[in-house]
């Protein structure tokens, strides 16, 4: 049997059978399979395959941590998206270098959120989606709005979120940019360009959103104690404002604080950070009813062996 016929055996199996097999393979094996044949490569880049992998991995979840910003690797001479594995040893949080995805585009980028194991990152003009399992990333079409804000002499990137529509089974990226807070949406694998869906009336904070159950969540830029939750319905492409739970109290955080979203313990979490205190709320979303379970954590008791922002802990994705 010659080499060409040998390579052709795999694709002869039904696609659903092949995907069931491939979703069980580790990331290193999937990365090598990109070079087997064009058919396998196309399957590995399907958004549906990323969802299958995420569902399979959730049975035996592992937490991974990523940098807030893409770090430049002097050895490679380019930016890299670094992934770290997370573990505990004697009450200490340990991070070990898992792998890195080289980014060939020269620009400054910020990390957005994780969704079903996919990670989005972006700059002033472009948005990218990376799959850590296959070590690949995809550049989306150039955005329509390029205006960036300057706050205190610092360039502020647009707000970007990656979400999944439970109704249609599609991945979408929402991007809010400019003083008028115009929002444009792009559906992965479907839209050829960004679609303008209008202005967002809520002043979104600069911190990354979190995705859960068909929606993206941001916090607003307002005075401490007056912040709201902003929910973006991925299917309907609508923004709504949600008042914080009455149990939320800013008293331990007089003065400047930072609010972060994340998904922990299978629930949406809102964390208020003002060193050395971390006030963590676990939020249950039951239609329009919101209830918070507060967990106060003193950072000195965490014995963390990292110096990053607390937001990096909340972006840890089970992939």
Q: What is the pLDDT of residues 197-216, one digit of tens each?
A: 999 998 888 788 999 889 99
Task: Return the percentage of the chain with pLDDT > 70, whole number.
Answer: 53
> Which of 21-30, 157-166, 260-269 has the highest average model confidence (pLDDT)?
157-166
DSSP class of 140: P
17 and 98 in one domain?
A: no
> Which of 38-42, 74-78, 95-99, 212-216 has the highest average model confidence (pLDDT)?
212-216
Classify 6 as helix, strand or coil: helix
pLDDT of residue 85 exceeding 80, the answer is no
Rounded Cα gap, residues 227 and 243, in angstroms: 8
| Among 19-23, 94-98, 101-105, 108-112, the least confident range | 94-98
182 and 37 in one domain?
A: no
In a domain, 224, yes or no: yes
Rounded Cα gap, residues 22 and 30, in angstroms: 8
241 and 104 in one domain?
A: yes
112 and 30 in one domain?
A: no
pLDDT of residue 78 exceeding 60, the answer is yes
Helix (H) / strand (E) element for 122: namely strand 118-122
CA angle 230, 236, 239 (to 5 degrees): 20
**What is the edge-to-edge ordering of all strands in the sheet holding 182-187?**
159-164, 171-177, 182-187, 195-199
91 and 12 in one domain?
A: no
CATH number, domain containing residue 312: 2.120.10
167 and 298 in one domain?
A: yes
- Please, are residues 78 and 142 in contact by the beta-carbon 8 Å criterion? no
| Among 65-74, 167-176, 228-237, the least confident range | 65-74
Give the range of the structural domain holding residue 7, as residue numbers without chain letter: 3-44
Per the structure, the count of domains in the chain is 2
The residue that leads in pLDDT, 285 or 177, is 177
What is the DSSP annotation of 253-315?
A: G-S--EEEEEEETTEEEEEEEETTEEEEEEEEEETTEEEEEEEEEEHHHH-BS--S-THHHHT
In a domain, 290, yes or no: yes
In a domain, 32, yes or no: yes
- Please, are residues 272 and 224 in contact by the beta-carbon 8 Å criterion? no
In a domain, 50, yes or no: no
- Please, are residues 8 and 36 in contact by the beta-carbon 8 Å criterion? no
Task: Give the per-residue pLDDT at 185.
Answer: 96
99 and 22 in one domain?
A: no
**Exposed/middle/buried for residue 226 (C-beta within 10 Å: 0-12, 13-18, 19+):** exposed
Task: Give the per-residue pLDDT at 126.
Answer: 84
In a domain, 152, yes or no: yes
In a domain, 52, yes or no: no
In a domain, 51, yes or no: no
147 and 81 in one domain?
A: yes
Task: Give the per-residue pLDDT at 117.
Answer: 76
Rounded Cα gap, residues 255 and 277, in angstroms: 13
167 and 97 in one domain?
A: yes
Rounded Cα gap, residues 135 and 7, in angstroms: 22
pLDDT band at 8 (very low <50, low <70, confident <90, very high): very low
Give residue-wise pLDDT tens across range 103-158.
777 667 788 888 887 888 888 778 988 877 777 788 898 887 765 554 444 556 78
In a domain, 49, yes or no: no
pLDDT of residue 93 exceeding 90, the answer is no
264 and 224 in one domain?
A: yes
Task: Give the per-residue pLDDT at 261.
Answer: 77
63 and 36 in one domain?
A: no
Q: What is the phi/psi pair of residue 311, to 5°?
A: -60, -25
Task: Give the per-residue pLDDT at 197.
Answer: 95
What is the number of H-type helices and E-type strands within the chain? 7, 23
Task: Give the per-residue pLDDT at 265.
Answer: 64
Q: What is the pTM of this model?
A: 0.70
pLDDT of residue 301 exceeding 50, the answer is no
Task: Give the per-residue pLDDT at 252.
Answer: 46
Residue 160 contacts by C-beta under 8 Å, 6 or more apart in sequence?
112, 120, 122, 127, 173, 174, 175, 176
Task: Give the per-residue pLDDT at 115.
Answer: 86
Task: Give the per-residue pLDDT at 95.
Answer: 64
153 and 29 in one domain?
A: no
Cα radius of gyration (the chain): 20
């Amino acid at each position: 049997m010659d080499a060409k016929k040998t390579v052709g055996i795999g694709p002869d199996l039904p696609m659903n059978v092949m995907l069931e097999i491939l979703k069980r393979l580790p990331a290193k094996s999937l990365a090598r399979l990109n070079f087997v044949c064009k058919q396998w490569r196309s399957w590995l880049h399907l958004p549906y395959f990323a969802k299958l992998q995420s569902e399979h991995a959730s049975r035996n979840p592992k937490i991974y941590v990523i940098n807030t910003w893409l770090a430049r690797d002097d050895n490679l001479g380019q930016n890299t998206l670094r992934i770290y594995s997370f573990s505990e040893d004697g009450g200490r949080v340990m991070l070990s270098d898992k792998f890195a995805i080289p980014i060939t585009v020269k620009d400054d980028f910020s990390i957005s959120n994780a969704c079903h194991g996919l990670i989005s990152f972006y700059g002033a003009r472009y948005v990218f989606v990376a799959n850590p399992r296959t070590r690949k990333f995809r550049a989306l079409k150039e955005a329509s709005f390029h205006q960036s804000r300057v706050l205190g002499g610092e360039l502020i990137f647009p707000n970007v979120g990656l979400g999944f529509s439970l109704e249609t089974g599609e991945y979408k990226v929402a991007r809010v940019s400019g003083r008028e807070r115009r929002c444009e949406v792009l559906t992965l694998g479907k839209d050829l360009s960004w679609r303008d869906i209008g202005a967002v009336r809520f002043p979104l904070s600069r911190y990354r959103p979190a995705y859960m159950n068909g929606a993206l969540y941001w916090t607003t830029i307002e005075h401490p104690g007056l912040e709201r939750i902003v929910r973006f319905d991925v299917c309907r492409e609508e923004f709504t404002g949600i008042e914080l739970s009455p149990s939320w109290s800013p008293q331990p955080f007089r003065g400047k604080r930072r609010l972060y979203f994340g998904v922990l313990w299978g629930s949406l979490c809102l964390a208020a950070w003002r060193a050395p205190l971390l006030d963590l709320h676990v939020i249950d979303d039951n239609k329009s009813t919101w209830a918070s379970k507060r967990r106060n954590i003193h950072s000195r008791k965490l014995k963390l062996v990292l110096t990053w922002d607390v937001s990096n802990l909340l972006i840890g994705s089970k992939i």
